[in-house]
Chains A and B, each alone.
Chain A
Amino acid sequence: MIMGSAKPLDEILAMIEPYDRIILAGCNGCVTVCRAGGEKEVGIMASALRLARETAGRPLEIREITLERQCDPEYLEGVRPFISDYQALLSIACGAGVQFMAEKYPRTPLLPGINTAFIGVTERQGEWAERCQACGDCVLHLTGGICPVTRCSKSIFHGPCGGSSDGRCEVDKNILCGWQLIIDRLKSLNQMDNYLKLHDMKRWRASRDGGPRSIVREDLQE
Chain B
Amino acid sequence: MVPCTGRVDEGMLLKSFEKGADGVMVVGCLEGDCHFERGNLRAKARVGRSAAILDAAGVGGARVRMFNLSAGEGNKFAAYANEFVEQIRDLGPSPINRIRRGLPVSPSAAEQEETP
| A interface residue numbers (CB < 8 A to B) | 8-10, 40, 43-44, 47-52, 54-57
Contact = CB atoms under 8 A, between A and B. Distances in A.
B99 A47 contact: no
A55 B11 contact: no
- 10 cross-chain pairs, A with B, having the tightest CB-CB distances, nearest first: A47-B14, A43-B11, A52-B57, A55-B58, A51-B57, A9-B56, A55-B95, A44-B10, A48-B53, A44-B11
B99 A55 contact: yes
Interface in B59-102: 59, 95-96, 99
Interface of B: 9-11, 14-15, 17-18, 53-54, 56-59, 95-96, 99, 105
Contacts of B15: 43, 47
22 contacts: A9-B53, A40-B9, A40-B10, A44-B11, A44-B53, A47-B14, A47-B15, A48-B14, A48-B53, A48-B57, A49-B57, A51-B17, A51-B18, A51-B54, A51-B59, A52-B56, A54-B99, A55-B58, A55-B99, A56-B58, A57-B99, A57-B105
Chain B residues touching A, majority SS: helix
A50 B10 CA distance: 14
Contacts of B99: 54-55, 57
Nearest to A47: B14
Chain A residues touching B, majority SS: helix
A54 B57 CA distance: 9
Nearest to A126: B45
A52 B58 contact: yes
Given A54-B99, A55-B105, A9 B57 contact: yes
Given A9-B53, A10-B56, A48-B56, A54 B96 contact: yes
Given A55-B99, A57-B105, A47 B56 contact: no
B26 to A, nearest CB: 16
A47 B50 CA distance: 11
Contact of B18 (A9, A47, A57): A47
Nearest to A52: B57
Contacts of A49: 57
A56 B58 CA distance: 8
A8 B58 CA distance: 14
B14 A55 contact: no
Contacts of B10: 40, 44
